[in-house]
Structures are given as C-alpha cells and as structure tokens.
Amino acid sequence: MSIQLKKRFWSVLPAQAAVRAWGALRREGRFCAGLLTVFGLGTAAALASYGLDLHLEYIAFLRGLSQTGEVFWGNQTLNGVLNRLLSTGEPVNWVPGAFPTYHPVVRWGTLLGALPVLGGALWLPPARAATVRRDLDFATMLAALTIASPVGWEHHYGCFIAIFALLLGVTASQANAPRAAWVALGFGFVAMANVWLAPQHVFTGPLQGLLGSHMWFAALATLGLLLYWRLHSGSVASLQPVRADALGSWRTRQPLAGS
C-alpha cells in the first residue's frame, strides 16, 4: 500500500471503534451487528488479498502518523491547525512521502482536544437518553468523529451535507428557534461549502493560515448546534414509522382546522 493511500485512509479503524461505542451505549443492537459484519467481512477479504504482514505494517504506520498528523492545508482539523501554527512543515505543497516534524504540543493538543468532542457526543443526560431523536444523536456522533480525527481532509466533510439538511429542517420546525441557531447554521454551511483555490495566498504565515482552516471552525459551530438541538428538540417517538391503521384512527379522532 502506498504512503499516499495510507495517509488518506489512516483514520478508518479509530472511527470504527468510536462508532461501535456509540451503538453499544445507545443499545442499537442491529446497528452494531451490521457494523461488525461489514468490518469482519472487509477485514477477511483484505487479509486474503494482501496478507497479514501488510496489515501489521499498516498498524505501525498508524502508530507513527498518530504522533505527528498532517501539516498540509487540506487537513482541516485541530491537528492541522496546530501543525501550521507551529510551522512543523510545508502547508501548501502536498508531498506524499513527507511528514511534519514531531512536536509534543501537536500530539497532546490533538489528543486533549479530541476527548471533549467525542465525550460530548457520546454522553447524554439520563433524562434524555430514552427520548433523544436518534437522527440528531447519530449526526452529532458523525460530526464529532470528523472533527476529532487527527487527519481530516476536505472531502471527509462531505458527510456534513446530510447534517446541514437535517439541521435546516430541525431549526425551521422550531417556532422559537434562537437567532444564534440560524447564525451558526448559516456560518457553518457557507464556511464549509467553500474552499481556497489558491492556498499559497492564504497560508503565508501561522496566524494568517487560520483563515484557511475555516472548514474546521465551521464544523465546530455545526457540532455546537447539533448538541443544542439534541437536547432541546423532539423525541425519538417522532421518528417511529406510522402504521396505516393508526393513521386512519388518528384522522377519525382529529377534527380539521377550522371545522
């Protein structure tokens, strides 16, 4: 496996573990079973195709990359921000076989920054655990995984397309949605839907490069909005399918508006 492919896909295994933890905590048995089935079949196929030695080499590669992360501007995570602030490498030109210089602030800052993000996504107040909207809950976990990953390229934020659609519907359905919710949603979408086509004009220095990390800041704002609505909107009951007989019964009991 080439260095470039390894650097692109290195975060699959940690993300799998975090998603399984979410499914177990939420007691989503079928979800966990499906995830483990796909993971097991995929691993078996990969072992059959590439052998055990390459997988062990890949694990060693992950261990090394987790120490440094990526300085390239396309890494829109806290790790990338810290690497660029500390000038550990070249942020503009992609070099497949190169890695940033190790810096303890980057390593431990990435780890400490990921803990509250993932912890906030996994934890639910006991009073909300049984009634939380599962779509908002899963979207929160998906956003947190992307943000907390040491390496998150621009295309990894593609999952936010569905998250923005969900948040738009949730926010619009709330009669008294706070103005800050609309501001966070608008900022998140605009900042994430655009990318610098000439990064050499943005990443001219550590502080100037913060402007080029707009996708990470947008993701943080979006995660905050997800956490807010997860606590303040709807319940899991609103997501259950409605049977035809139940719908007919409801129609016979509920008068039409104005009748």
pLDDT digits (tens, 9 = 90+) for 95-149: 877 789 999 999 999 999 999 999 999 988 777 777 888 899 999 999 999 999 8
Q: What is the mean pLDDT of the chain?
A: 82
pLDDT score of 246 more than 60: no
DSSP, collapsed to helix, strand or coil, labels residue 175 as coil
pLDDT of amino acid 253: 40
The stretch 72-89 carries a mean pLDDT of 93
pLDDT of amino acid 205: 83
Nearest of 184, 100, 187 to residue 150 by alpha carbon: 100
Least confident of 69-73, 78-82, 122-126, 234-238: 234-238
**pLDDT tens digits, 187-204:** 999 999 988 778 888 888
pLDDT of amino acid 103: 93
pLDDT score of 225 more than 70: yes
What b/e readout covers 36-65, taking b as 16+ CB neighbours within 10 angstroms? eeebeeeeeeeeeeeeeeeeeebeeeeeeb
Structural contact between residues 78 and 109, judged by C-beta atoms closer than 8 angstroms = yes
pLDDT of amino acid 3: 46
Structural contact between residues 210 and 73, judged by C-beta atoms closer than 8 angstroms = no
pLDDT of amino acid 88: 92
Nearest of 127, 152, 140 to residue 22 by alpha carbon: 140
pLDDT score of 252 more than 50: no
Half-sphere exposure of residue 100, counting CA atoms within 13 Å on the CB side? 34
The stretch 11-30 carries a mean pLDDT of 76
* Model confidence, pTM: 0.78
Half-sphere exposure of residue 190, counting CA atoms within 13 Å on the CB side? 6
| Model confidence band, residue 14 (pLDDT cutoffs 50, 70, 90) | low
| Complete DSSP assignment for 19-78 | HHHHHHHTT-HHHHHHHHHHHHHHHHHHHHHH-HHHHHHHHHHHHHHHHH---STT--SH
